[in-house]
Amino acid sequence: MRGVLAVSLVLGSTGAHAAEPVTSVPQLDISRYAGQWYEIAHLPMSFQKQCVGDITARYSLDAPGKIGVLNACKTKDGSTDQAQGTARPVQGHPGRLEVRFAPEWLSWLPWVWADYWVIALDPGYQWAVVGEPDRDYLWILSREPSMDRTQFEQLKAKAEAMGYDLSPLIVAAPLR
């Protein structure tokens, strides 16, 4: 009992509050989601450290249950860096995918697949917020290479309500 009380006191004294759970959208039409997306912002990650601008993701319907992924960005020297991968739907969870950038012959290994959850989505598929349950990764995407600042702030607030720490968020595209 004392342990529970001590934990409660520590959490209460730090001002921590219970965040909403990270949830994926209840419906995702992959055929509408496919196509070109522009990254507006992301949480820092090692595999994007070379990117300085023009960050895009293109999703294609390659075969039933198989989605092609092509990520690209401009680097400091002006060249384009690309990463090609594959995504697959998670059964029973329409807004969740798993994505891998490892070679096909390694696809049987569970750790080459990463969670890719669409956690917010415009009804017209014009913007999306993508994350994962541990809150380590987050991307704000748009069909346009820029985003309205008010919309951007609303999407940030939604992610923060789910417990994402956005203090290190990198804004990669212009806001208007």
Location of structure tokens 């419906």: 27
Inside any domain, residue 166: yes
CATH code: domain of residue 79 = 2.40.128.20
Q: How confident is the model at residue 18 (pLDDT cuts 50, 70, 90)?
A: low
Task: Tell me which residue of 52, 112, 64 sits closest to 85, measured CA to CA.
Answer: 112
The string of pLDDT tens digits covering residues 139-163 is: 999 999 999 999 999 999 999 999 9
Residue 68 in this model has a pLDDT that exceeds 60 = yes
Asked whether residue 10 is assigned to any structural domain, the reply reads: no
In a domain, 14, yes or no: no
Choice between 10 and 114, residue whose per-residue pLDDT is larger: 114
The pLDDT mean for the chain works out to: 89
Cα–Cα distance between 81 and 162 in angstroms, integer?
31
pLDDT band at 64; cut points 50, 70, 90: confident
Quick one: which H or E segment has residue 127? strand 127-131
| Structural domains in the chain (count) | 1
Query: Which range marks the domain in which residue 79 is found?
Result: 20-171
8 A C-beta contact, residue 36 and residue 131? no
Closest CA to 38 of 109, 128, 170, 112: 128
11 lies in a domain? no
Residue 109: partners with Cβ closer than 8 Å, 6 or more residues away:
102
| Token code pair at residue 70 | 């092509």
User: How many Å apart are CA 82 and CA 55, to the nearest integer?
Assistant: 10
Residues 113-123, mean pLDDT to the nearest whole number: 97
pTM: 0.87
Predicted pLDDT at 45: 86
* Domain assignment present for 4: no
